[in-house]
């Protein structure tokens, strides 16, 4: 008999990408039924994150990964493969408009997500589910022009930002954020067939305003007035919580959602319904 350990070898793996507030909330929720691999670029913070999850009784390990670097993603892929079958991917990592340039946002939010989708498809098997956290921002903007969409639909071709610059002139962080989330939802729709061929599912989940540390920073950044204006129209008249976003991710990754793939779930307090009713 072993004592003093959280190890639960009978549980499948949940790979959670992103160590911020929503990522940690998701890791805690999925940790009830999975062994958790939490991946984040912040090596220094990962030590405390792993300790916090383990203090909660979760079989968890936190590892460093730069999702925009193919070699780093390959290392993470190998690490997960060595630990056991991948049951759930929860891709939470993203940059918000106030913390990056338009190029950085596209690189992290779209290229990074596409690299992770590619790597995890190789690990997927019967019953695996991938949930990519998008945003209502991808719903609220008008659809881009066809030549822009063509570039977005091939995010792993070289120099995404350069190719976009040739056909798209809205070079702001806010516009890039909307564009990246629109493209992320398209990716999940377009890749559903490839995942389905392995008996697996891929979906996106679009939260509205959620009370997170990053969300609080946005209220001090360039998108403050836009965000406040949208929140003023919320039918539920409040921000969502990280617990509520984790609820949605857990549902989408569970067997209760076994016939849901290639689509997006809005978890937005009615924001899109109120602002784009038609």
User: What is the pLDDT at residue 250?
Assistant: 98
Tokens of 18: 């992103």
Instruction: Give alpha helix (H) positions in the chain.
Output: 21-30, 43-55, 70-83, 102-106, 113-123, 137-140, 146-152, 160-165, 173-190, 192-196, 213-218, 224-231, 242-253, 271-275
Tokens of 70: 């193919």
In this prediction the pTM is 0.93
3-class secondary structure, 87: strand
- Rg of the Cα atoms in the chain: 18
User: What is the pLDDT at residue 59?
Assistant: 97
User: What is the pLDDT at residue 72?
Assistant: 98
232 vs 245: CA distance, rounded Å: 20
CA angle 109, 262, 255 (to 5 degrees): 105
User: What is the pLDDT at residue 147?
Assistant: 97
Convert the pLDDT of each residue in 215-264 to its tens digit: 666 666 666 777 787 778 888 888 899 999 999 999 999 999 999 999 99
CA distances from 218 to 41, 81, 96, 251 (A): 21, 36, 7, 27
91 vs 27: CA distance, rounded Å: 11
Positions of the chain with pLDDT under 50:
none
CA distances from 87 to 11, 73, 83, 253 (A): 9, 18, 12, 8
36 vs 116: CA distance, rounded Å: 16
User: What is the pLDDT at residue 43?
Assistant: 83
* Enclosing H/E stretch for 61: strand 60-64
DSSP string, 95-153: --GGGS-HHHHHIIIIIIHHHHHHHHHHH--TT-EEEEE--THHHHSPPPPHHHHHHHT
- Strands of 123-241, DSSP E: 129-133, 201-207
User: What is the pLDDT at residue 275?
Assistant: 86
Find all residues with CB under 8 Å of 66, minimum gap 6, and list them.
Answer: 41, 72, 73
265, 248 contact by CB (below 8 A): yes
Considering all CA atoms of the chain, what is the largest pairwise distance in Å, rounded to the nearest integer?
64
User: What is the pLDDT at residue 142?
Assistant: 87
For the chain, domains (ranges, CATH) are 13-268 (3.40.50.720)
């Amino acid at each position: 008999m072993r004592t003093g350990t959280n190890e639960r070898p009978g549980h499948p793996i949940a790979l959670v990408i992103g160590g911020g507030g929503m990522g940690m909330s998701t890791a805690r929720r999925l940790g009830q039924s999975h062994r958790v691999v939490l991946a984040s670029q912040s090596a220094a913070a990962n030590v405390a994150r792993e300790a916090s999850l383990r203090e909660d009784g979760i079989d968890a390990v936190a590892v460093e990964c730069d999702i925009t670097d193919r070699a780093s993603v390959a290392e993470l892929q190998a690490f997960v493969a060595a630990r056991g079958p991948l049951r759930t991917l929860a891709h939470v990592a993203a940059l918000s408009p106030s913390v990056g340039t338009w190029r950085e946002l596209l690189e992290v939010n779209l290229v990074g997500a596409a690299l992770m989708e590619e790597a995890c498809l190789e690990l997927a098997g019967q019953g695996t589910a991938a949930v990519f956290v998008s945003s209502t921002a991808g719903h609220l903007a008008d659809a881009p022009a066809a030549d822009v969409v063509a570039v977005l639909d091939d995010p792993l071709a070289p120099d995404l930002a350069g190719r976009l610059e040739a056909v798209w002139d809205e070079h702001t962080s806010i516009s890039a954020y909307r564009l990246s989330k629109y493209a992320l939802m398209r990716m999940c729709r377009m890749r559903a067939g490839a995942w389905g061929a392995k008996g697996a599912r891929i979906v996106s989940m679009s939260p509205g305003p959620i009370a997170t540390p990053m969300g609080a920073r946005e209220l001090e950044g360039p998108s403050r007035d836009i965000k406040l204006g949208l929140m003023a129209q919320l039918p539920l008249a409040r921000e969502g919580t990280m617990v509520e976003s984790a609820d949605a991710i857990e549902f989408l990754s569970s067997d209760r959602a076994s016939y849901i793939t290639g689509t997006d779930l809005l978890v937005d307090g009615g924001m899109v319904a109120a602002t784009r009713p038609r």
